C-alpha cells in the first residue's frame, strides 16, 4: 500500500498513539483486501454502545479519549441500546445504563456527534454522487452506495472510529468502480404496496446470494419506490445477503439504463419476483401455538412519514391487553412527531416509542424476553425478523397494517 507523507507520519506515531493504532488497523485491513492507497472521507458514522462493545470495547475507548484523540471529520453515532427515559420501565440494568452514559461522554470528548440514529441518511447527512464516506450499520452503507451513489464499505465500530481519527479509509471494495457494477438482474413483477413487501424482496434476493460483492440490479417495477421503501429493501439485502450495493434502473444514480448498471457486462443470472413469491415469504412464518403479544417497528428506526402512518393506523385504538407494541425512532423524528400530534395518537394506544435505540440491541433484551413471556415477535421489518434470532425470538413478518391489527387484537388474520 502506498502511503503519503501525512499517512507515514500517522503510522510513525507523530500524531499520537490513538491515530497510529487507527492507521495500523486500517493498513492491515487494506492489505488484506489488496488496497493500493487510502482515500479521504468527508463523513463518518459509527456504532458504539455498551451492548455491542462490552467492557473491553469501553476500556479501549476510554484509553483513546484520555489520550486526547479527536475525530478529524464529522462523525455521528448509530442507534444504541438504552433510551435513558425508559431504563426503569424496561427494567434495564442501572449499572449498564451508567456505563452507557460514560461511553457517550467519552465519544463526545473525542468530538463524536452522538446522534444515535441508524437513519442518518434520512435525517442527518446525504452524501453526493461519488463522495467517499465511512459508515457503519450495513443499512446506512447500502443506502449511501445505492441511492446516493456515494462510496462506502461496511465500517464496523472500531474501523469507523479509526476513519474518524485518520480522516481516511483504505481504497478497496465499493470505493472502486470495479465493484460497483451490477452482477445479476432481478425483475420485479410484484405489486409491492407495503414496506414489508420491499423487505421480503431483500430476504428472497439476499438469502440466495450471500456475498458482499453481489450487486443486484432491479428492473421492471410497477412504481417508483419511496425513500422508506428503498430503506427496507436495502436493510434486508444487507442483512440477509451481506450486500453493500444495489441498482434500480431509472431510480438510482449509477443505473440510468440497464446496460449502464451492468457496466457493459452480462448479468450472471436473471430472476423474477412475483406476488406469489412475496406471499410465500409471509406464509413461511409460523406462530408455533404461542401468543402474538409483541409487535415491533424498528430496525431501521422509523422516519417521520412512517410515524405519520402508524399514528393514523393507531388513532382511537388500544394495544390488546397483555400485548406490547414498541416503536423506535431518532430523537429528531420523535420531537417532530410530537409537534405534529403523531406521537400522542401513537402513545394513547398504549404503544411505547423509544428514541435513539434499536430494538434488537436493547440492553437486557434476552432477560426481558423471558420476563415478559415473549416468544413471537411480529414486525414489518424483514431485517429485524432476521437478526433477532440470536435472542431466541420466533419472528413473523407481516405488512404494516397487519402488524397494527395484531398489536390491537392479538390475532393474525392470515
Partner 1 sequence: MKGAKPIRVNRAFGAIVEGEALVSTEGFSPRYDLDRWSGLISRPGHALEGHNIRDKILITPSAKGGIAAGWAFYDIRAKGIAPKAFVFGVTNPVMVQGAVFAGITITEGWSADPYQLIRTGDIVRVDPQKKTLVLVRRAAT
Q: Which stretch binds partner 1 (CB under 8 A): 149-157, 192-200, 223-231, 270-278?
A: 149-157
Q: Which stretch binds partner 1 (CB under 8 A): 45-53, 108-116, 272-280, 368-376?
A: 45-53
Give the integer Cα–Cα distance in Å for 169 and 35: 10
Q: Which stretch binds partner 1 (CB under 8 A): 103-111, 147-155, 297-305, 400-408?
A: 147-155
By CB under 8 A, name the one of 15, 19, 41, 53 that touches partner 1. 53
Is residue 115 within 8 Å of residue 357, measured between CB atoms? no
What DSSP state is assigned to residue 145?
I
Is residue 44 within 8 Å of residue 160, measured between CB atoms? yes
Number of residues counted as binding partner 1 (CB under 8 A): 44
* Least distance CB 157 / partner 1 (angstroms): 5
Beginning with the edge strand found earlier in the chain, give each strand of the sheet holding 376-379 in spatial order: 352-355, 324-329, 294-302, 376-379, 394-397
Residue 103: is it exposed, middle or buried by C-beta count within 10 angstroms (0-12/13-18/19+)?
Answer: buried
Tell me: does residue 368 bind partner 1 (CB under 8 A).
no
By CB under 8 A, name the one of 43, 75, 239, 400 that touches partner 1. 239
* Least distance CB 259 / partner 1 (angstroms): 27
Give the integer Cα–Cα distance in Å for 397 and 284: 9
Which CB sits closer to partner 1, 318 or 392?
Answer: 392
φ/ψ (deg, to 5) at 327: -130, 130
Tell me: does residue 389 bind partner 1 (CB under 8 A).
yes
Give the integer Cα–Cα distance in Å for 273 and 27: 41
Q: Which three cell numbers stand for residue 183?
A: 452482477
By CB under 8 A, name the one of 57, 250, 291, 350 that touches partner 1. 57
Which CB sits closer to partner 1, 11 or 260?
Answer: 11
Which CB sits closer to partner 1, 140 or 219?
Answer: 140
Tell me: does residue 3 bind partner 1 (CB under 8 A).
no
Give the integer Cα–Cα distance in Å for 389 and 240: 12
Of the candidates 19, 146, 140, the residue with the CA atom closest to the CA atom of residue 73: 19
Look at residue 297 and give its three-state secondary structure. Answer: strand
Tell me: does residue 41 bind partner 1 (CB under 8 A).
no
By CB under 8 A, name the one of 69, 104, 150, 159 that touches partner 1. 159
Q: Between 265 and 304, how does the x/- string for binding to partner 1 read (CB under 8 A)?
A: ----------------------------------------
What DSSP state is assigned to residue 148?
I
Q: Which three cell numbers stand for residue 209?
A: 446470494
Tell me: does residue 56 bind partner 1 (CB under 8 A).
yes
Cα separation values, 368 from 138, 229, 349, 361, 396, Å: 26, 30, 22, 12, 19
φ/ψ (deg, to 5) at 147: -85, -40
Tell me: does residue 238 bind partner 1 (CB under 8 A).
yes
Tell me: does residue 125 bind partner 1 (CB under 8 A).
no
Residue 163: is it exposed, middle or buried by C-beta count within 10 angstroms (0-12/13-18/19+)?
Answer: buried
* Least distance CB 277 / partner 1 (angstroms): 21
Q: Between 194 and 223, how does the x/- string for binding to partner 1 read (CB under 8 A)?
A: ----------------xxxx----------
Tell me: does residue 120 bind partner 1 (CB under 8 A).
no
The distance from CA 65 to its chain's CA centroid, rounded to whole angstroms, is 26
Contacts of 290 (CB under 8 A, 6+ apart): 375, 376, 394
* Least distance CB 164 / partner 1 (angstroms): 14
Give the integer Cα–Cα distance in Å for 377 and 384: 9
* Least distance CB 49 / partner 1 (angstroms): 9
By CB under 8 A, name the one of 120, 145, 153, 364 that touches partner 1. 153
Q: Between 59 and 78, how does the x/- string for binding to partner 1 read (CB under 8 A)?
A: -x-----------------x
Helix then strand then coil, % of the chain, to nearest 5: 45, 15, 40
Which CB sits closer to partner 1, 273 or 387?
Answer: 387
By CB under 8 A, name the one of 25, 353, 377, 384 that touches partner 1. 25
By CB under 8 A, name the one of 155, 197, 345, 405 that touches partner 1. 155
Binding site for partner 1 (CB under 8 A): 25, 28-29, 31-34, 47-48, 52-57, 60, 78, 136-138, 153-159, 172-173, 210-213, 238-240, 242, 244, 361, 386-387, 389-390, 392
Amino acid at each position: 500500500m502506498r502511503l503519503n507523507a501525512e499517512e507515514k507520519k500517522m503510522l510513525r506515531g507523530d500524531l499520537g498513539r490513538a491515530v497510529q493504532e487507527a492507521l495500523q488497523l486500517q493498513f492491515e485491513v487494506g492489505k488484506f483486501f489488496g488496497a493500493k492507497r487510502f482515500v479521504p472521507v468527508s463523513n463518518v458514522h459509527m456504532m458504539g454502545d455498551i451492548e455491542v462493545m462490552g467492557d473491553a470495547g469501553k476500556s479501549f475507548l476510554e484509553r483513546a479519549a484520555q489520550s486526547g484523540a479527536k475525530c478529524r471529520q464529522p462523525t455521528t453515532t448509530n442507534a444504541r441500546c438504552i433510551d435513558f427515559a425508559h431504563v426503569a420501565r424496561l427494567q434495564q440494568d442501572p449499572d449498564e445504563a451508567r456505563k452507557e452514559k460514560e461511553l457517550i461522554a467519552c465519544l463526545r470528548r473525542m468530538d463524536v456527534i452522538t446522534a444515535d440514529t441508524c437513519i442518518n441518511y434520512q435525517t442527518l447527512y446525504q452524501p453526493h454522487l461519488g463522495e467517499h464516506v465511512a459508515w457503519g450499520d450495513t443499512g446506512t452503507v447500502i443506502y449511501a452506495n445505492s441511492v446516493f451513489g456515494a462510496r462506502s464499505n461496511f465500517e464496523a465500530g472500531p474501523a469507523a472510529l479509526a476513519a474518524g481519527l485518520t480522516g481516511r479509509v483504505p481504497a478497496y471494495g465499493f470505493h472502486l468502480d470495479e465493484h460497483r457494477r451490477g452482477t445479476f438482474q432481478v425483475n420485479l413483477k410484484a405489486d409491492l404496496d407495503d414496506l414489508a413487501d420491499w423487505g421480503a424482496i431483500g430476504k428472497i434476493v439476499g438469502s440466495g446470494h450471500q456475498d458482499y460483492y453481489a450487486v443486484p440490479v432491479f428492473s421492471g417495477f410497477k412504481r417508483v419506490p419511496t425513500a422508506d421503501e428503498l430503506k427496507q429493501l436495502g436493510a434486508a439485502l444487507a442483512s440477509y445477503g451481506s450486500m453493500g450495493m444495489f441498482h434500480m434502473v431509472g431510480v438510482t444514480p449509477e443505473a440510468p439504463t440497464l446496460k449502464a448498471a451492468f457496466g457493459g457486462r452480462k448479468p450472471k443470472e436473471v430472476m423474477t419476483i412475483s406476488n406469489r413469491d412475496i406471499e410465500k415469504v409471509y406464509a413461511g412464518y409460523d406462530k408455533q401455538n404461542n401468543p402474538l403479544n409483541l409487535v415491533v417497528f424498528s430496525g431501521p428506526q422509523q422516519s417521520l412519514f412512517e410515524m405519520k402512518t402508524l399514528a393514523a393506523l393507531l388513532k382511537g385504538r388500544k394495544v390488546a391487553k397483555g400485548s406490547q407494541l414498541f416503536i423506535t425512532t431518532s430523537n429528531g423524528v420523535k420531537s417532530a412527531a410530537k409537534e405534529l400530534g403523531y406521537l400522542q395518537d401513537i402513545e394513547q394506544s398504549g404503544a411505547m416509542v423509544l428514541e435513539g435505540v434499536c430494538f434488537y440491541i436493547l440492553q437486557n433484551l434476552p432477560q426481558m424476553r423471558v420476563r415478559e413471556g415473549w416468544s413471537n415477535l411480529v414486525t414489518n421489518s424483514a431485517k429485524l425478523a432476521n437478526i433477532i434470532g440470536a435472542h431466541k425470538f420466533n419472528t413473523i413478518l407481516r405488512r404494516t397494517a397487519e402488524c397494527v391489527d395484531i398489536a390491537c387484537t392479538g390475532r393474525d388474520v392470515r
